[in-house]
């Protein structure tokens, strides 16, 4: 190993995991105050092909404040250029990002929420580090009343003047005297605000007990820019500081925060004040506190771990507790950096917008993300819970300990945590392993192929843009963007640092830095076209793009480490494609060649000439010559190529026919993934006849083989629930009959009969088709305490054909009394996928847009999810006009700048093009196939 340490200290860690990894190397370099962390892993795939996965992470630990990250106070700026504060005076700072002249060292924060009047008051004292003489301190505060602002200086206490500039959520504290560089100062501010009515900042939540009593709680969600709504602070990730928190509460409640409680003090009036230990240095977005009537369960191994939930659900926490203990211990060893806090609490919050949040020492979750009832939860619930805990706990190191300096590098955080979900699951719960990795890859490609997609590292400034960074590309692409195939090598160069070099292929020196740059600095990903002529294989690359505007694809060039297999050789061959076009020569002529072996690379492949036909032949006669992942990859690529008109639809459909013999979950799921949207597009055009012909059961054999119970491995169980649901939704008579029978038995038992978990979705969907069945299901939904059962009931009700029920459900979710507002996005999107509901969902979205952007926050992934989810199956010019006219009427404040809107237009245009081109082909292919089938029948 050729590692060349550059900094003052450098430590290399190598780990060996024989089952899964070749070798894993983590290099820590400390140079000055900067810690460079370089990480690479080699994973061996199922065919014991070793795939190198290189994730170079250059993260900054306890970032020193370099002047380049912020900017200087505009001392010389003329007053007329400055923004105007709320009181009409010039505001002395004109940027979104805070200046770095003064930075926080320590916050002493006291908070008193009142859960009856639903507001809170607080006092914060911030110890400052003055880097340059100044008489101005700029920090964040949003929608709160500020009072009693003082400077605690060595020469005494002074009142400060306060200016507010709401556009950037900033306060300017003005001092008569100069704050001198190097001296210690503190500012003191009192503040008051309402508990937020949304799902971010310091917000109120509530839940109903089984006896119908409504109980209120208050909890925090600060990522990305909402700490400033809870207390005045320097609300940017690089401004790390220590926090000492005190919370005042009533005796009937408890308070928890990032650190353990050290003592409780009785206050006059019967209130109690909990004092929490001082945190390590951390970013504001990771601060958390909750005041509630939660109960907890705990376990102490290497660390103290507790799970908090509402009292009536505390008996559903055993699985999460066990998982958290295992995972935290695993990470401790894996990173070889001990978990730095004395405890880790995991709290299930009844009102929670996203999936979970990695607050340091107090991770928060949706109830469905943490609560598990072994009797009523399914295999995929278990998988989901384990993954979400694995993700949030990985952030305790990546993100919390080591933090990106600014939000444009969010992908480092999220990509790494996402990657760790797979690594940690394989180690801690091998029985849960499935190839969900590949599925994530397809999802990222879907977003990344649009021309409004952002490169992995993007400049972002305003809060809406910061919020919108939290999409699939940031979460998924990094893992894939930087996949390099190799069995004996990795090279990695980052900035001025060179580390870990060996040779990659036939003596070529591989410049990984150059390869990496083509992936992380360019948006999108390449399409490689392969054409075999005798022994010669012609290769070319272009940007894969889903719009018909050719300009965005020019000037893109990737260095692509290709892998391939042929009919003559089962070993994995490699070729680095660096130019627009190139050739390679095979040792002999072959029947077929398959590139991107096991889909380990982030690129699409088109087999030109006779290429696709030879693959179709192979799949029809001996599909097992390729791995399940390879087959899934082919299905994905061929349908994607149809959408950009490189391949005809009938070719893709012809390829899909082999699916009647497919049993591997990845390939079956991918087949569903491509074919179901076709059915859906047709449903919305009322093309019943065509649709019915289309559904001729490719999957019938597989469906008929399913047993209506919970037996089998995790992947068999996931596949079973998927297949039975599909067959019931698509009215496959034997399944509908069986499900109707089971629903009636369950209803007759007043819901006490226990149904096998994996089939409940299918049974509920059939039950919800009649008004009586729907009402019965809703009653059971209302009173159920099992989160996973509730969410299945909710989904089943949303796919019912009963339009008045669908409408009522969306309205109730918005009101939030008998259905939770956190579930509104899922309800609306489910309704929009429902052939009887898509118009209702669109009307609802338009009518309630302003309420929803306030509730869920503009730019949040929830809002993009709503926009995308509701519009992505529209395929007519009328719908495109309607969508354009609505979104076109928005202003900057109401969302006109959101990237997801542009993406929605592109998707609909795409669908229209698809329909225009492919409908006639589809009809012809079906006719031909019907003739062929009836001929075979004879
Ligand atoms: Zn995350």
Residue 722 sits at φ, ψ, to 5 deg, of -65, -50
Q: Are residues 909 and 847 in the same domain?
A: yes
421 catalytically annotated? no
List, in order, residues 6 or more apart from 892 with CB less than 8 Å away: none
DSSP character at residue 331? H
The percentage of the chain sitting over the pLDDT mark of 70, rounded to a whole number, equals: 76
Tell which wins on pLDDT, 105 or 856.
105
Q: Ligand 1 centre and the CA of 417: distance in Å?
A: 6
Instruction: Read off the pLDDT of each residue in 791-808 and give the average, rounded to a whole number.
Output: 93
Provide DSSP, 801-845.
Answer: S-HHHHHHHHHHHHHTSSS-GGGHHHHHHHHHHSTTTHHHHHHHH
Say how many Å lie between the CA of residue 379 and the centre of ligand 1.
23
Residue, of 91 and 63, whose pLDDT is higher: 91
Provide the residue count of the chain: 938
Q: Tell me: pLDDT of 915 over 70.
A: yes
Higher-scoring residue by pLDDT: 36, 735: 735
- Any residues with CB less than 8 A from the CB of 180 and at least 6 apart, and which? 130, 133
Residue 855, domain CATH = 1.25.50.20
Mind listing the pLDDT tens digit for each residue in 553-581?
Answer: 667 888 888 889 999 988 889 888 889 99
pLDDT score recorded for residue 664 = 82
Residue 934 lies in a domain: yes
Q: What is the mean pLDDT of the chain?
A: 79
CA of 390 to the centre of ligand 1 (A): 10
DSSP for 512-550, written as a single string: HHHHHHHHHSSSS-EEEEEEEETTEEEEEEEE---SS--
pLDDT tens for residues 641-695? 987 889 998 899 999 989 888 888 778 878 887 887 777 777 766 666 666 655 6
**Is the residue at 486 inside a domain?**
no
Distance 141 CA to ligand 1 centre (A): 25
Does residue 225 belong to any structural domain of this protein?
no
844 and 749 assigned to the same domain: no
Tell me if 558 sits within 8 A of 541, measured CB to CB.
yes
Q: What are 483-507's pLDDT values in tens digits? A: 222 221 222 222 212 222 222 333 3
**pLDDT of res. 517:** 64
Is the confidence at residue 815, as pLDDT, over 50? Answer: yes
pLDDT tens per residue across span 591-642: 999 998 887 777 889 999 999 999 999 999 999 999 988 999 999 899 989 8
Beta strands in 160-252 (DSSP E): 161-165, 170-179, 184-194, 201-208, 214-221, 242-249
CA dist 311 and 551 (Å) reads 58
Q: What whole-number percentage of the chain has pLDDT above 90?
A: 46
- Spatial distance between the Cα atoms of 473 and 415, rounded to a whole number of angstroms: 9
Within a domain: 720: yes
CB neighbours (10 Å) of residue 231? 29
Statement: residue 792 has pLDDT above 70: yes
Residue at a domain's end among 734, 762, 777:
777
Domain-embedded: residue 843? yes
Place of tokens 């019912």: 800
CA angle 354, 358, 363 (to 5 degrees): 90
- Is 935 assigned a ligand-binding role in the annotation? no
Q: What is the pLDDT of residue 68?
A: 37
Q: Are residues 806 and 729 in the same domain?
A: no
Question: What is the phi/psi pair of residue 902, to 5°?
Answer: -60, -40
Residue 553 Cα to ligand 1 midpoint, Å, equals: 31
**Cβ atoms within 10 Å of 501's Cβ, excluding its own:** 19
* Residue 496: count of CB within 10 angstroms of its CB: 7
For residue 580, give the 3-state DSSP assignment.
coil
The predicted-structure confidence for 725-771, as pLDDT tens digits, reads as follows: 888 888 888 999 999 999 999 999 999 998 998 899 999 999 999 99
Per-residue pLDDT reduced to its tens digit, 393-445: 988 887 888 776 666 556 556 666 777 777 777 777 776 655 444 444 444 44
User: What separation in angstroms does the CA of 268 have from each of 65, 192, 248, 271, 272?
Assistant: 43, 21, 11, 7, 9
Residue 854 sits in the same domain as residue 915: yes
Q: 34 is written with which tokens?
A: 């900067």
Ligand 1 center to 415 CA (angstroms): 8
For residue 342 the two structure tokens come to: 């004395």
719 with 807, same domain: the answer is: no
Q: What does residue 848 show for φ and ψ, rounded to 5 degrees?
A: -115, 15
Shared domain check, 741 and 834 = no
- Of residues 288 and 519, more confidently modeled: 288
Question: Which band of pLDDT confidence, cut at 50, 70 and 90, is reported for residue 85?
Answer: very high
User: Is 857 within the bounds of a domain?
Assistant: yes
Distance CA 94, CA 109 (A): 28
Mean pLDDT of 223-234: 93
Residue 35 has pLDDT above 50, yes or no: no
Q: Do both 757 and 836 map to the same domain?
A: no
Residue 811 has pLDDT above 90, yes or no: yes
- What 823-826 contacts at long range (C-beta under 8 Å, 24+ apart), as own/partner pairs, is 823/791, 823/794, 824/852, 825/856, 825/862, 825/865, 825/866, 825/869, 826/794, 826/795, 826/798
Distance 157 CA to ligand 1 centre (A): 42
- What is the rounded average pLDDT of the residues 906-935? 81
The reply to whether 732 and 831 lie within a common domain is no
Residue 621 annotated as binding site: no
Distance 667 CA to ligand 1 centre (A): 28
Residues facing residue 815 across a β-bridge: none
- Residue-level pLDDT at 736: 93
pLDDT at residue 69, rounded to an integer: 37
The verdict on 711 and 821 lying in the same domain is no
Q: State which of 727, 745, 777 marks the end of a domain.
A: 777
Same-domain status, 808 and 910: yes
- Do 829 and 934 fall into the same domain? yes
Q: How many domains does the chain have?
A: 2
Helix 861-871, helix 824-833: angle, nearest 10:
10
Domain membership flag for residue 313: no
Among residues 223, 236, 367, 392, the one annotated as catalytic is 392
Burial of 123 (0-12, 13-18, 19+ CB in 10 A): middle
**What domain range includes position 724?**
699-777
Centre of ligand 1 from the C-alpha of residue 391, in Å: 6
CA of 412 to the centre of ligand 1 (A): 10
CA 911, CA 873: separation in Å to the nearest integer? 7
Confidence band, pLDDT 50/70/90 cuts, at residue 61: very low
Query: Is 414 one of the annotated binding-site residues?
Result: yes
Query: 475 CA distance to ligand 1 centroid (A)?
Result: 8
- The average pLDDT across 702-713 equals 86
Q: Find residue 138's DSSP bridge partners.
A: 172
740 CA → ligand 1 middle, Å: 41
Question: How does DSSP assign 184-199, residue by residue?
Answer: EEEEEEEEEEEPBSSS
pLDDT at 462: 59
Is residue 840 in some structural domain? yes
Name the E strands within 301-382.
Answer: 304-309, 343-349, 356-357, 362-366
Phi, psi of 71 (to 5 degrees): -160, 170
Are 937 and 808 members of one domain?
yes
Q: Under DSSP, is residue 153 helix (H, G, I), strand (E, B) or coil?
A: strand
């Amino acid at each position: 190993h050729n590692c060349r340490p550059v900094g003052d200290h450098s430590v290399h860690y190598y780990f060996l995991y024989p089952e899964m990894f070749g070798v894993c190397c983590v290099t820590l370099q400390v140079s000055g105050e900067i810690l460079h962390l370089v990480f690479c892993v080699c994973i061996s795939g199922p065919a014991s092909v070793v795939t190198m996965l290189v994730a170079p992470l250059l993260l900054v630990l306890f970032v020193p404040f370099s002047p380049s990250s912020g900017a200087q106070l505009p001392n010389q700026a003329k007053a007329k250029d400055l923004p105007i504060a709320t009181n009409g005076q010039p505001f002395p700072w004109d940027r979104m990002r805070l200046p770095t002249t003064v930075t926080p060292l320590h916050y002493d924060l006291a908070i008193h929420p009142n859960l009856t009047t639903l507001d809170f008051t607080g006092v914060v004292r911030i110890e400052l580090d003055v880097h340059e003489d100044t008489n101005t301190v700029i920090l964040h505060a949003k929608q709160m009343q500020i009072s009693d602002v003082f400077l605690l200086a060595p020469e005494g206490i002074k009142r400060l003047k306060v200016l507010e500039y709401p556009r950037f959520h900033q306060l300017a504290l003005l001092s008569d005297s100069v704050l001198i560089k190097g001296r210690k100062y503190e500012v003191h501010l009192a503040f008051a605000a309402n508990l937020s009515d949304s799902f971010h900042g310091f917000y109120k939540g509530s839940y109903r007990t089984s006896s119908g009593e409504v109980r209120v709680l208050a909890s925090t969600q600060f990522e990305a820019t909402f700490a400033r709504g809870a207390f005045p602070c320097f609300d940017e990730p690089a401004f790390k500081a220590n926090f000492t928190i005190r919370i005042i509460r009533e005796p009937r409640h408890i308070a928890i925060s990032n650190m353990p409680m050290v003592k409780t003090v009785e206050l006059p009036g019967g209130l109690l004040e909990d004092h929490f230990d001082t945190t390590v240095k951390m970013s504001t977005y990771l601060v958390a506190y909750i005041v509630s009537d939660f109960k907890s369960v705990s376990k102490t191994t290497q660390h103290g771990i507790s799970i908090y939930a509402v009292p009536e659900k505390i008996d559903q926490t055993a699985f999460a507790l066990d998982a958290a203990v295992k995972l935290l211990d695993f990470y401790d060893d894996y990173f070889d950096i001990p978990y730095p806090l004395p405890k880790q609490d995991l709290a299930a919050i009844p009102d929670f917008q996203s999936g979970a949040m990695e607050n340091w020492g107090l991770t928060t979750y949706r109830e469905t993300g943490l609560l598990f009832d072994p009797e009523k939860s399914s295999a995929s619930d278990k998988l989901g819970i384990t993954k979400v805990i694995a993700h949030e706990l990985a952030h305790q190191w990546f993100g919390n300990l080591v933090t990106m300096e600014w939000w444009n590098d969010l992908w480092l955080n999220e990509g790494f945590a996402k990657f760790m979900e797979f690594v940690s699951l394989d180690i801690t719960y091998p029985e849960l392993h499935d190839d969900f990795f590949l599925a994530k890859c397809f999802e990222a490609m879907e977003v990344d192929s649009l021309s409004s997609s952002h490169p992995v590292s993007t400049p972002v400034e305003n809060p809406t843009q910061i919020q919108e960074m939290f999409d699939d590309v940031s979460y998924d692409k990094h893992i894939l963007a930087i996949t390099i195939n190799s069995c004996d090598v990795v090279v990695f160069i980052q900035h001025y640092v060179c580390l870990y070099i060996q040779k990659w292929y036939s003596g070529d020196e591989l410049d990984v830095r150059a390869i990496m740059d083509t992936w992380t600095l360019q948006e999108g990903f390449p399409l490689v076209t392969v054409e075999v002529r005798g022994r010669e294989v012609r290769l070319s690359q272009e940007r894969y793009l889903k719009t018909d505007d050719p300009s965005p694809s020019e000037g893109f060039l990737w260095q692509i480490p290709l892998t391939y297999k042929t009919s003559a050789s089962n070993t994995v061959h490699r070729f680095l494609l660096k130019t627009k076009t190139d050739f390679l020569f095979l040792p002999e002529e072959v029947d077929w060649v398959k590139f991107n072996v096991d889909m380990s690379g982030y690129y699409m492949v088109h087999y030109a000439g006779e290429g696709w036909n030879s693959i179709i032949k192979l799949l029809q006669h001996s599909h097992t010559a390729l791995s399940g992942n390879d087959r899934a990859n082919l299905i994905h690529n061929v349908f994607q190529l149809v959408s950009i008109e490189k391949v005809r639809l009938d070719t893709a459909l012809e390829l899909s026919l082999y699916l009647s013999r497919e049993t591997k979950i990845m390939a079956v799921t991918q087949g569903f993934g491509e074919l179901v949207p076709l059915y859906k597009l047709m449903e919305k055009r009322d093309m019943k006849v065509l649709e019915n012909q289309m559904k001729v059961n490719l999957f019938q054999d597989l469906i008929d083989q399913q047993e209506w119970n919970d037996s089998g491995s995790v992947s068999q169980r996931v596949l079973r629930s998927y297949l039975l649901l599909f067959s019931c939704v698509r009215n496959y008579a034997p399944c509908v009959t069986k499900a109707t029978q089971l629903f009636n038995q369950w209803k007759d038992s007043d819901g006490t009969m226990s149904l096998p978990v994996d089939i409940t979705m299918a049974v509920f969907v059939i039950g919800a088709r009649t008004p009586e069945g729907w009402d019965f299901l809703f009653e059971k939904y209302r009173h159920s305490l099992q989160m996973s059962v509730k969410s299945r009931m909710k989904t089943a009700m949303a796919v019912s054909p009963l339009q008045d029920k669908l409408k009522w459900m969306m309205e109730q979710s918005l009101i939030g009394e008998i259905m939770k507002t956190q579930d509104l996005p899922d309800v609306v999107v489910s309704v929009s996928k429902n052939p009887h509901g898509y118009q209702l969902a669109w009307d609802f979205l338009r009518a309630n847009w302003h309420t929803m952007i306030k509730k869920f926050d503009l730019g949040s992934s929830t809002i993009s999810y709503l926009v995308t989810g509701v519009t992505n199956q529209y395929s007519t010019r009328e719908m495109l006009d309607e969508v354009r006219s609505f979104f076109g009427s928005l202003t900057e404040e109401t969302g006109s700048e959101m990237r997801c809107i542009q993406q929605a237009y592109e998707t609909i245009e795409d669908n229209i093009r698809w329909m225009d081109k492919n409908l006639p082909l589809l009809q012809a292919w079906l006719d031909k196939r019907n003739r062929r089938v009836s001929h075979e029948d004879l």
